[in-house]
Each structure stands twice: as C-alpha cells, then as structure tokens.
Chain A
Amino acid sequence: MTSQLFMQQLANGISLGSLYALLAIGYTMVYGILRLINFAHGDIFMMAAYFMTFSIVTFKLPWYIAIIVVIIATVALGVLLEKVAYRPLRDAPRMSIMISAIGASFLFSNLATYLFTGVPRGFPDIKVLTTTVKVGSISLSVATLITPFITLVLLYLVLFITNKTKIGMAMRAVSRDFETAKLMGININRVISTTFIIGSALAAIGAILWGSRYPSIMPLMGVMPGLKCFIAAVLGGIGNTTGAVIGGFILGMSEIMLITFLPSLTGYRDAIAFIILIVVLLVKPTGLLGEKVTDKV
C-alpha cells in the first residue's frame, strides 16, 4: 500500500461519507420530531436530481439559478408530502404513518418511472463542479473536494437553527414532548413543516453533488443511498444531527476502506452497511450519540 493510494482512498471515503451525511441529517431530523422514519426521503433525493436535469437541460437555466430553483421545488415537494401523507395521520398509531411513508416512497419511484421512463439520463455537466483538480498526487473533482466542507457548513447551520433560534427551540420542545409542547402554544404544524423544509433542502443539495459525481439519473437511484443514509442516522444515534453526520462519515469510510484493504471482497460492499446496522442495534441500540429515551406511559 503506497501512501499515495491510501491518500486517494481517504479522499474517496471522506467525500462519499459527507454525501451520506447530508442525506442522513434529513432522516434524523424527521425522526427527532415525528418519531417517523421517512422512507420517502431517498425518493425526494431522486426527484431533486430529476429537477436539476430538467431545469438545466430542458429549461436551459444557468446552473446557479437552477440550483436555487431545484432547492425550492424539492422543498415544495417535501412539504407537500408531509401535508398529504403524514399530517392526516398525526393522531393515528405510529404504524399507520410508517406504512404511509413506505407507500409514498413507492408512489414516487413508480411515478418517476411512469413520467421519465426507466432509461437513465445523464446529469447536466456543471463545469464548476466537475473540473478535475490535482492535489499533490491525488486527483479529485471539485464536487468531491467541496462536498465535505458544504456538509460541515450545513451541519453548523442546522445546529445553529435548532439551538439558537426560536423555531429551533420549538423544535427541541416538540421533539422532547409532543403533547406538552402543543399545550404550551407551540404551532406543531409549523414546526414540522420547517423540519421537512430543512430536510428536503439538504436532500436537494445532496442530489446536486451526487449527480455531479455520479452523473446517471434513474427512478431507483434513491433506494440504496436512502437505505444507507438511514443506517448512518441509526449509527450516529437517530434523532441527533451531529450523530447523523458522524454516522455518514463512518459508513462512507468503512465502505471505501473495505475495498482498499480487502479488494477481494468488493462485491460485498453493500453488505458492510447492513452488518454495521445489525452490530449497532445489538451493541448500542441508541447509536453513538443517541440519548436513552424512556417511554412515558
């Protein structure tokens, strides 16, 4: 193992991990507030990638405007999803809302297959993001290079919102105790909508960075990243934003390191994510940074 090879793999791992982290924040926030695993999050991510393709290829928008349009469209979709599929079930048993989430996920991927066909499309080539730069002996695309920084900045932003603003305080209150927060006059619907706005915006940014690195867009592209990011969120302690980012980094890094050190096992790459999930659930079900929550009867 040369140090050059190792450095390149390290860069691969950090950058894949930070992509996972961006999506994992969305899972963990919704879980923190609603105690719901939003299975449709991966499909929101997929739709964002299609939005990007359409706004640049079909509507010929310049990339910096397209990014804003895509974030707004994705946020609208996320809020709509919450309004249509989750809000009517607010008082229903938790199982119903979970089934609704799975249904929404299938609806999105089938709808995308129906509307855009299953034939993969190319993701628009945003020169600013896809240019290759050489750092020493390792070569990286700009997207690869900036993804970890974007992730950290966004993490800081999310932490700032949840810890320093009024809506953030409301979010924490709702996450601590739904009923009491309601009694204290907190507008639950507004808090939940805000959560979905933040989660979907992060999914949109994740999709744009993902597409620049892996420029093949298809209706089922959100399934595997969705599952893995959910695992990352569980690993970091679901409900904890910093934990989700750490979980994402660990997951991305372990996948890449598996291939680096055990090249004969490259075919089992997806398995490692699920092995991590099982081990976490067995050894520390609350995840790395998760708090132990006692259910009040």
Chain B
Amino acid sequence: MKRKLSLFICILMLLSLITACGGSQDSSATADEDVIKIGVFEPLTGMNGGGGLQELGGIEYANKIYPEVLGKKIELFVHDNKSDQGEATTVVTRLVEQDKVVAIIGSYGSAVSIAAGDIIRNAQIPTMAASATNPMVTQGNDFYFRACFLDPFQGEVMANYAIEQGAKTAAVIMQNGDDYSVGLGNFFINAFKELTGDDNSIVDISEFQLNEADFNAILTNIKAKNPDVIFAPSAATTAPLIIKQARDLGVESLIMGGDTWENPAVIDVAGADAEGIVLSTFFDENDPATEEARRFVEGYKEELAGSEPIIPAVAALGYDAYILLRDAIERAGSTDGVAIRDALRETKDFEGVTGIINFTEEGDADKNIAVIKTVENGQFVYIDTVEVK
C-alpha cells in the first residue's frame, strides 16, 4: 500500500512538473558566443493569457523579420508568467540568473511588470515593456522602458470621449489588487471629475476580486443610479462577463474599457451584447503611421493567415518593443546592460509600427495619440484618433 501511495505521489509530482514547464519554450543550450539572448516574459495562461499570446505573436514575428544583431543570431527565451505577480518575479529571476539574457521584453499586464521591476533594476538588464500602461512600471527604474502610452493619458482620453458623447455621470468598476485596473480607473475618475467640474459626476465606484464571475449585484446597484457611461478597465477574461450581465439586467449605459478589451475573446464570449462598447487602443491597421507600419501590416496579416480578424494592437507593440531593443543593441555595439540602456535613452525619432518613438526621462515612449474603437457587427471598428497635447 505504501509503495502504491508513494508511486502515485511521484506520478502526480512528475505530471505537475511537466505541466508547469508546458508554457515555456526552452531551447537547447547554445554556446554563449554565437547568439544574443533576449528574454521574454508574458502571461500565456491565466487572466491575461489571451493578450499575452497576441503580444508574443508580434515579438516572434519581429524576430523572424530581424533575426540578427551585431552579426549574431538573436535567440528568444520565452517564459510564461501566468498573469501572476509571484510567478513573474520567478521567471524574470530565471531569465537573469539561468538564461543570462542581455535584455528582456515584457510584460502584458502592468501588475506583473511592476512586480518584476526591482529584479530588473538590480540586475541592470534593460527591459522593454510593450503594452504595460501603469506609470509605476518605469517610475524610478533606469532600466525599464516602454513602447506604449500611459494610463493617465488613456484615462483622460476615455473621459474626454465620454464627455464628447454627452455623458454627465459615470460609474467605474475596477479589479481590486490589479494595478492596471485600479490605476486606469482612478485616472479616469480624476479626469472625468475635472472635465465635468463636478465631484458628484462619478455616481458609483465598485470593486471586484480576481476570478470573480458574478457581477449582477454590482451592476444592479449601478443600474439604480443610471449613469450615462460605465467605465470598467479589466482583463479580456472579465470584460465579456461584465458586458453580458449588464445588458441582461437591462443596463443601457454606454460601456467603455481600456486597451485590454481589444481582444477577439471579448466579442466571442459577449456575442451580440458586445455591440457598441467603446475602448481605446494603441494602433489601427487601416491607418499605418510609418513605412515600417505598412510593411508590418502587410507581412503580419499574411503570418496570421486569418487566425485573428484584425492585427491586435499589442502585437504591433510587441514588434516595436523588439525592434527598439535590437536597434539599441546595434548602436551600443555591445551586450553590456548599461551600454544598451544608454543607447535606448538616446533613441531619436525611431520609426516604429505604432508611430515615431522617442523616450522621455522616465523611459516612456513619448506618445500622445490613442485610437478609439467600437464594436459593430461583431468586429472592432475604428472611430477616431485622439491627440492630447
């Protein structure tokens, strides 16, 4: 009996080991001199799994188009951070200590990026976040850069849009403990109050917890207050649940979200209820800003081969994050962390897919353009490009 039990436990442990490694792609060891190693940490499973996979798609495509730097092959080391802060620190430590990468790309989701920030700063590995929008990702961290706009900007854009649509009151739903959701929600609240000049214009603020599926109670409260818009920055997993339950309860307010909502999963799961939702995003394939963008749209469309209805904005940012890093390594002429960081700082008018990129003091891409989209007939449809000075 004891032997059977121990055998069973052994099998269990083995299996969990196999599945734990399932998300990462370990390549066989190659001699250090032949390749330049770039680490990637993205959520491939968990709450942000869908978005992480899209971003990874863009990074891998960039690696295919620009496979070399300094005359050496670039090798990507991809690890899954499971949308979990604890796991993020583990995989970044692994990238630094074990894989010995010279630079890192990631991650989708601000919370996991913030969690990994300290390790990155201490190890002095230049890191490029593609789509993490919370200001704290790069704040006070010399080695963390990002290719996208920030949440204060995004919050303002959405508040602006809501007011242009004639909204006087708004309700906000945020995920307790998720830096992205709470951050963006609060920036929206501030901007909306300022723009309406009325402290009572936010009629309801509700929070929910990770893995929550039931929003009926929150939405019933909101329905009673009848706001003009509901702003619910949340993961693409949660968004359709909120949208669907709101419409089932007969809530007719305009429902808005952030960049995470530009994910086919939202439309798939919410179905007809997704019609008319509004979100802001980084990029629109129909309006390529640069020559690089034109080439990317054409090439990546072919690469996707119809598996996604539109090119996800985070894929474009993933692509930009990769080519920004590659360009900096090229100019630095070495794989030294400090040298690459300095080269990144000196980036000048870099032609990316999501526009011309310069970095601010803080290491953020200096972007003042956001794209607003809605859903029509089961498709994301471009509404407007907003520029905030």
Chain A residues with CB under 8 Å of chain B are 2, 4-5, 8-9, 12-13, 16, 85, 88-89, 91-92, 96, 100, 103, 106-107, 110-111, 113-114, 117-123, 125, 132, 134, 139-141, 210, 213-216, 218-221, 223-224, 255-256, 259-260, 263, 266-267, 269-270
- Shortest distance in angstroms between B15's beta carbon and chain A's nearest beta carbon? 6
Interface-facing stretch out of B43-51, B189-197, B313-321, B337-345: B43-51
Q: CB distance A111 to B15 under 8 Å? A: yes
Top-8 shortest CB links A-B: A118-B45, A267-B207, A214-B213, A122-B269, A259-B217, A110-B19, A267-B176, A118-B49
Q: CB distance A92 to B217 under 8 Å? A: no
Tally inter-chain residue pairs, CB-CB below 8 A: 141
CA distance A103 to B9 in the complex (A): 8
- Shortest distance in angstroms between A140's beta carbon and chain B's nearest beta carbon? 8
Chain B: which residue is nearest A130 at the CB level? B248
CA distance A210 to B49 in the complex (A): 22
- Shortest distance in angstroms between A127's beta carbon and chain B's nearest beta carbon? 11
CA distance A267 to B215 in the complex (A): 12
Q: CB distance A120 to B50 under 8 Å? A: yes
Q: List 18 A-B contacts (CB under 8 A).
A: A5-B221, A85-B8, A88-B1, A89-B1, A107-B12, A111-B15, A113-B45, A117-B44, A118-B46, A122-B265, A122-B268, A140-B248, A216-B213, A216-B237, A216-B240, A221-B211, A223-B211, A224-B212
CA distance A33 to B249 in the complex (A): 41
Indicate which residue in A8, A9, A110, A123 contacts B20 across the interface (CB closer than 8 Å): A110
Measured between beta carbons, the chain A residues less than 8 angstroms from B12 are 103, 106-107
CA distance A100 to B220 in the complex (A): 42
- Shortest distance in angstroms between B18's beta carbon and chain A's nearest beta carbon? 7
Chain B: which residue is nearest A271 at the CB level? B209
Q: CB distance B15 to A215 under 8 Å? A: no
Measured between beta carbons, the chain A residues less than 8 angstroms from B15 are 107, 110-111
Q: CB distance B208 to A119 under 8 Å? A: no
Chain B: which residue is nearest A15 at the CB level? B216
Asked whether any CB of chain A lies closer than 8 Å to the CB of B389, the reply is no
Interface centre among A224, A260, A267 (most CB of B within 10 A): A267
CA distance A9 to B223 in the complex (A): 11
Measured between beta carbons, the chain B residues less than 8 angstroms from A256 are 216-217
Excluding A134-B250, A213-B214, A259-B221, 11 further A-B contacts by CB distance (< 8 Å) are: A5-B221, A5-B224, A12-B217, A12-B220, A103-B9, A119-B45, A140-B248, A224-B212, A266-B217, A267-B207, A269-B209
Chain B: which residue is nearest A137 at the CB level? B250
Q: From residue 5 to 64 of chain B, which have CB atoms closer than 8 A to chain A?
A: 5, 8-9, 12, 15-16, 18-20, 22, 44-46, 49-50, 53
Measured between beta carbons, the chain A residues less than 8 angstroms from B20 are 110
Q: CB distance B240 to A215 under 8 Å? A: yes
Q: CB distance B5 to A96 under 8 Å? A: yes
Chain A: which residue is nearest B221 at the CB level? A263
Contacts A16-B214, A269-B209 known; A120 to B49 CB distance under 8 Å? yes
Contacts A96-B5, A110-B20, A125-B271 known; A260 to B221 CB distance under 8 Å? yes
Asked whether any CB of chain A lies closer than 8 Å to the CB of B218, the reply is yes
- Shortest distance in angstroms between B50's beta carbon and chain A's nearest beta carbon? 5
- Shortest distance in angstroms between A63's beta carbon and chain B's nearest beta carbon? 16
Q: CB distance B241 to A266 under 8 Å? A: no
Indicate which residue in B5, B209, B248 contacts A267 across the interface (CB closer than 8 Å): B209
Chain A: which residue is nearest B237 at the CB level? A120
CA distance A141 to B246 in the complex (A): 12
Measured between beta carbons, the chain A residues less than 8 angstroms from B269 are 120-123, 215-216
Chain A: which residue is nearest B13 at the CB level? A103
- Shortest distance in angstroms between A264's beta carbon and chain B's nearest beta carbon? 8
Q: CB distance B240 to A122 under 8 Å? A: yes
Measured between beta carbons, the chain A residues less than 8 angstroms from B5 are 88-89, 92, 96, 100
Asked whether any CB of chain A lies closer than 8 Å to the CB of B82, the reply is yes
Contacts A103-B9, A223-B211 known; A266 to B271 CB distance under 8 Å? no
- Shortest distance in angstroms between A6's beta carbon and chain B's nearest beta carbon? 9
- Shortest distance in angstroms between B33's beta carbon and chain A's nearest beta carbon? 35
- Shortest distance in angstroms between B351's beta carbon and chain A's nearest beta carbon? 32
